[in-house]
Every structure is written in structure tokens, then in C-alpha cells.
Amino acid sequence: MSAHLPVLQVLVPLLAAPVCALLRSARAAAALAVLASWTTLAVALALLGEVKSAGVVSYAIGGWVPPIGIEYRVDMVNAWVLVIVGTIASVVSPYMVVSVSSEVERRRIPLFYAAYLLCLTGLLGIAVTGDVFNVFVFLEISSLSAYALIAMGTRRRALTAAFRYLVMGSVGATFIVIGIGLLYVMTGSLNMADLAVLLPEVWDSRTVKVAYGFLGVGFCLKLALFPLHLWLPNAYAYAPSAVTAFMASTATKVAVYMLLRFFLTIFGAPFSFGTMALDRLLLPLALVAIVSMSMVAVLQVDVKRLLAYSSVAQIGYVVLGLSLASVTGLTATLLHLFNHALMKGALFMAMGCVVYRIGSVHIDAMAGLGRRMPWTMAAFVVGGLSLVGVPLTVGFVSKWYLILGAIERGWWPVAVVVLLASLLALVYVWRVVETAYMRPYEGDGRAVEAPPGLLLPTWVLAAASIYFGVFAKSTVATAEQAARVLMSGVGS
């Protein structure tokens, strides 16, 4: 079966989703969703191992040879992204079981799991495929199911948040498909590796540059880069807790992967950084995102919204790494995809625990929770420290490489901005910590420690964000290898 690994990566959740929709029992659907999530992680790890030992893995769907048929192609970069998505799915899915039973209507729960599995299918599909049109198809699968997942939030505003995301997301997807169409017109191919070979011949044509522009806007909408981020805060704030934790740690990460794959593998680093000046375009946007969104986060009173704005700022860090246009910068980008998934996952899951007990994440409602829910809030503190970038946490590792990359290019002011923004992160994390630990508890007896079904997954991510901060060697090595693959273009 090992030859079929690339397709199994997508097939397992794709098969589990309709079965969940057919099941009447919420418990059976939950068990199936958890099982499917764990299987995807196992497949992703097996793929990463195979890529490390044997190089690029290619799979021809339907037996049609690559440039003609759809190819699934896994190298270091997407093996890494698959592991990120698989890890988060397998940690969040058991959490989902407890959290969703209190937040989603009982008869809708099997359908909820079906939507979750479809979203997972889409995200994994984007990462695994080597065909640009297939990317668009999986993008739509993941986005449509994401809209449905967000709309299942408890508050009515979840519906408007989901609708706004639907409008923005559809605009983004349309831009992407127009870009893909233009590429197809110019080259007659949809295969990524094939496109990378054919495109240099037509680099000078305006059509290719326009395609680049369309794709860029589409990806930036999907990954919520600063001026195009407006859909994100409400979508994250009003979605069910488990969905927020899952989406915040995977959806934007996969969008970043798409950007890297298209701009560095298909168009190639020389075209992106040379002709199109991608680095000079993204640098100011990234810096503005980091500073302004951290400042907006400081002003929020809803802690889930606060974390959502912080996510937009963190995407700034990710894009900043790309705009450094070097292996070190890209290493930081790829590392931060994983590291941010760990810490934001832990933070949103801690907030899910709070919602489970007191039904609100308003900052005033959290007064005194440090003593009432010690483990939950401790996980929040760990995630918060990592967000700030304190040594011995994953946040430190990614910022270290970012600053290293900035200094490498001689961009001292960028390094200073990164450090200053960390202080802003300290401010917004501290506001929550102060309220939770320094103020007395005022509510009724509802605020007791969250059940182990919620705490355990939260702490798995919190612990991982310390573990991979201390023992960063393996993640850094993998990210660096992936960064080299991206910078060197095709064939490696």
C-alpha cells in the first residue's frame, strides 16, 4: 500500500466524510472523524520519511502519465505542510468531540464532522497535489466546508461572519482560477513541474505577469495578508471553538504554502524576486501587518478576537520571512508555519475550555480564572509566552531565524521592528494574564477546571510548543531542507 501513500492522504478523510454524513449517531461520527484524522497524520509522517530517504514521491492518478494526467507530487515542502495539517487535525479532533457536543446542535453533529473531514480533505489535497487546477478544486472543497463550519457557531453573528468570509473567499478563489487560466493559455499545461519548465520561455509576456498578479491577490486574500485580512477576525471569533483552533492552525498555513509553491516552484525565485520584485512588494505589507495588527489586538476585549488579530500579525511574520528572499528567511517562514500552528492551536483551545465552562471569552468574564481553571490558564500562558517569543519556546526559534535573515540582508530596521512587535505581543498577552491571575473571581460556581477531554489536547500542543522550542534541531533541519528546495526551483 505504501506506493499509494500520496492518494491515501486525501482519500481517507474523503471517504470518512460521506460516511459521517450518513451516520445517525453523533458518537460514531466523532469516533470516525478522530480515527480518520489520526490516519492522515500517520500517512503524512510516512510520506515525510519516504521523501527524506528517497526524494520526491510522484503518483499518477488514474495511471495517466504526469503532464497529461493529474499528478500528486510530494517533496520536502509539502511533506512538511502535510505533517503540520495532520498533527493539528489529530490533536484538535479529540478536542472537537467534547467541545462540539456543547456548542453545536445535537442532530447536526454528524454533518459537522462531515464538513470538518471535507475541510481536512481540501487542505491536505492542496498540499499534496502537483496539478494547479487540482489545487483550485481542493481549495474550493476546503473553503466551502469552512464556511459551513464557521456558520455553526453558537452566536447568530457567526452567520454574518461566515457570509463575509464566503464573499471574500470566493473573490480570492476567482482571482486564483483566473490566474491559473491565464497560465494554461500561455503554456497549455496544468502540471506544476511542467509549468516550471515551460514558463521561462514566456516570462516576458504581459499575460504571465498579469497571471502572477491575479494569483498574488488571490493567495493574499486566502492567507489574510494585511489589507486583505478583513474576513478573518470575525470568522475566527464567532466560529465554534474547535473550528477556530483547527482553522487558525491550518487554513492560513496551507494558503501560505500555495503562495510559496506557485511563486517559488512554478514561477521560480529568479522571476519572483527579480522581475516581479515580490520581496519589495511584500516587505512593507508584512511590516505593517505585524505592527498595526498587534496594536489592534491590544485594544480587543473579546479574547478570541484578540487572538485572531494576533494571527493576522503572525501571518505578517510568515510573509516577512518570504520577503527576505533567502534560505534563512524561508526557513523562518516554514518554521513559523509549524510553530505558529502549535501555539495558536494551544491558545484557541484554551479559550475553548473557557467557553465550555463560562460561555464567554470577554476579557472581564475571565477575571480570576487563573485560580479557578489553573491548567487551562497555564496552557494559555505557555502559548502566550511563545507568541511573545520568549526563549525555550517555539516562538523564539522562528523569530531567531527571522532576525538572522534580516541581519543577513543588512536590514537592521526590520530586525528592530520584529523585536518591538514582540513587546506589543507581550502587552496583549499580559492583559489577559493580568485579568485572569490578578483580579478576584466574581462569577458563580460554573468556572471549574475544564474536563480532561479538552485539557489533554490543549496541553499536547502547549507542551509541544515548549518541546520544539528546546529541541528545535529536527524541525529546523526539515524546514531548512524545504527552504533549499523552494529556493532552488524545480527538479530537486
Partner 1 sequence: MRDDFIVRVGARIVTPFIVTFALYVHFHGDFGPGGGFQAGVILAAAFALLALVYGLEAVQRVLPPWFVRGCAALGVLIFAGVGVVTMLLGHSYLGYNALAHDPKHGQHYGILLVELGVLVTVFGVMTTIFYLFAGRAGRGE
Q: Which residues, in sequence order, are bridge partners of residue 131?
A: 191
Q: Which one, 141 or 247, has the nearer CB to partner 1?
A: 141
Q: Cα(100)–Cα(356) distance, rounded to whole angstroms?
A: 9
The cell for 14 is: 474523503
For CA atoms 230, 146, 87, 176, the dihedral sign is: negative
Closest CA to 460 of 6, 87, 27: 87
Q: Which one, 163 or 411, has the nearer CB to partner 1?
A: 163
> Under 8 Å CB-to-CB from 142, ≥6 apart: which residues?
118, 119, 121, 122, 123, 125, 126, 251, 254
Q: Which one, 14 or 293, has the nearer CB to partner 1?
A: 14
Q: Does 114 bind partner 1 (CB under 8 A)?
A: yes
Q: Does 19 bind partner 1 (CB under 8 A)?
A: yes
Q: Is the Cβ–Cβ distance between 489 and 269 less than 8 Å?
A: yes
Q: Is the Cβ–Cβ distance between 37 and 120 less than 8 Å?
A: yes
Q: Does 456 bind partner 1 (CB under 8 A)?
A: no
Q: Which one, 19 or 298, has the nearer CB to partner 1?
A: 19
Q: Does 377 bind partner 1 (CB under 8 A)?
A: no
Which of 31, 56, 61, 198 binds partner 1 (CB under 8 A)? It is: 61
Quote the least distance from Cβ 457 to partner 1, whole Å.
28
Q: Does 7 bind partner 1 (CB under 8 A)?
A: yes
Q: Does 407 bind partner 1 (CB under 8 A)?
A: no
Q: Cα(287)–Cα(273) distance, rounded to whole angstroms?
A: 18
Q: Is the Cβ–Cβ distance between 336 and 415 less than 8 Å?
A: no
SS3 430: helix
Q: Does 11 bind partner 1 (CB under 8 A)?
A: yes
Q: Which one, 62 or 413, has the nearer CB to partner 1?
A: 62
Q: Does 46 bind partner 1 (CB under 8 A)?
A: no
Which of 14, 84, 417, 487 binds partner 1 (CB under 8 A)? It is: 14
What is the DSSP secondary-structure string of 308-359?
A: HHHHHHHHHHHHHHHHT-SHHHHHHHHHHHHHHHHHHHHHHHHHHHHHHHHS
Q: Cα(94)–Cα(143) distance, rounded to whole angstroms?
A: 22
Q: Cα(351)–Cα(369) distance, rounded to whole angstroms?
A: 11
Q: Does 56 bind partner 1 (CB under 8 A)?
A: no
Q: Does 445 bind partner 1 (CB under 8 A)?
A: no
Region near partner 1 per CB under 8 A, out of 16-24, 189-197, 434-442, 474-482: 16-24
Quote the least distance from Cβ 177 to partner 1, whole Å.
18
Quote the least distance from Cβ 433 to partner 1, whole Å.
43
Q: Which one, 60 or 490, has the nearer CB to partner 1?
A: 60
Region near partner 1 per CB under 8 A, out of 56-64, 168-176, 373-381, 454-462: 56-64
Q: Which amino acid is at 11?
A: L
Q: Does 28 bind partner 1 (CB under 8 A)?
A: no
Region near partner 1 per CB under 8 A, out of 11-19, 187-195, 215-223, 322-330: 11-19
Report the interface residues with partner 1, using CB under 8 A.
4, 7, 11, 14-15, 17-19, 21-22, 59-63, 114
